[in-house]
Amino acid sequence: MAALIWRGVRHLLKRADFTRVPRRHRHKKKWAATEPKFPATRLALQNFDMTYSVQFGDLWPSIRVSLLSEQKYGALLNNFAACDHVSDELEQLQARDFVNKAHSRRELEPETGQAAALSPASWVCSPNLRCFTFTRGDVSRFPPARVGSLGVMDYYLMDAASLLPVLALGLQPGDTVLDLCAAPGGKTLALLQTGCCRNLAANDLSTSRTGRLQKVLHSYLPQEIRDKSRVRVTSWDGRKWGELEGDTYDRVLVDVPCTTDRHSLHEEENNIFQRSRKKERQMLPMLQVQLLAAGLLATKPGGHVVYSTCSLSHLQNEYVVQGAIELLDNQYSIKVQVEDLTHFRKLFMETFSFFSSCQVGELVVPNLMANFGPMYFCKMCRLT
């Protein structure tokens, strides 16, 4: 029976007239054009929901809603401007200098046995920094910065948590300083506000981003400061800095490219979760290890490095620190020690919300009452 059916089908096929389709009318389904197109911000949120729900557990829902809410800012006073009247104006807005407040509290606290056991470097904060924030739960906004009587801007608006890596670096007068990934310039400006930099090298691979950095410096620094060659702006590959200027700097800040979690949830432009940047995103931890290793190689023995990101990911934070330390030990026989920042964290707990379970370093997590961050930072000392 089956043979008869098959014979009939062949007969019908022979009688059918299948005209060849002209080549110009043929087409192949293009999957890239027909797949649903999700915005990068949505892809970022999906990624964070999968990874951070595991990393943070029950804490993730509160971090998630904070990341999706409006961010709080701080006003970093420009010491090169006539800033006394500016601080008075900010205090009239009920904003307070969180750095000065933390230092005042430290002076009033009795020295405990645990605090006395900490290394001196972990106690030292970079000096002369003043940054005003509104109190917890206050979502007021600062007015835009304006040009003051000395021809430079009065203050710089930034995520106040971004100041913590600069504070942790513990600059001392006469230090030679490297900001390895400097653009767009907020942390570079903060380094200069300390008044400690004998020389500052501010580097970023992207020439367009170093252009933004130059604009910040031009807006906030008097011309005589810029003309004294205290600041050198370059666009070199930061991964090669250990070869270019090894064993050179007293203090190095390595604020690496990362997934910029808050930006990735709010902005489509330059979003690393765009499909075309998938490979770049996957390679981030390797790039971060290379940059941190280069920063450590550029540091003098006995010098200090602070590594920082604006990501919550432990793959970009603790794991990178551990990977770079192992790399220097295995390939260069260089010993690096992570500094204990427990006391540093306690100083600023009234202003920021810290994650209590970091393996190394400190992590500011967004919180609706104090919606700064995310900001991870870890301080290291190069021993040899």
Q: Are 321 and 292 in contact (CB under 8 A)?
A: yes
Q: CA 65, CA 73: separation in Å to the nearest integer?
A: 17
Q: CA 166, CA 377: separation in Å to the nearest integer?
A: 10
| Active-site residue, from 181, 310, 378, 381 | 310
Angle, CA of 353, 355 and 358, to the nearest 5°? 150
Q: Which two tokens stand for residue 308?
A: 């920082």
What count of other Cβ atoms lies within 10 Å of the Cβ of residue 383? 10
Beta bridge partners of 231: 200
Q: Is 163 exposed, middle or buried (0-12, 13-18, 19+ CB in 10 A)?
A: buried
Q: CA 47, CA 64: separation in Å to the nearest integer?
A: 12
Q: Which residue has the tokens 């000065």?
A: 100
Alpha helices in 16-138 (DSSP H): 31-34, 40-56, 60-67, 84-92, 98-108, 113-117, 120-123
Q: CA 88, CA 70: separation in Å to the nearest integer?
A: 26
8-state DSSP, 349: T
The CA distances from residue 76 to 117, 129, 191, in Å, are: 32, 8, 11
What count of other Cβ atoms lies within 10 Å of the Cβ of residue 265? 18
Indicate if 181 belongs to the active site. Answer: no
Q: Is 351 exposed, middle or buried (0-12, 13-18, 19+ CB in 10 A)?
A: buried
Amino acid occupying residue 151? G
Active-site positions?
310
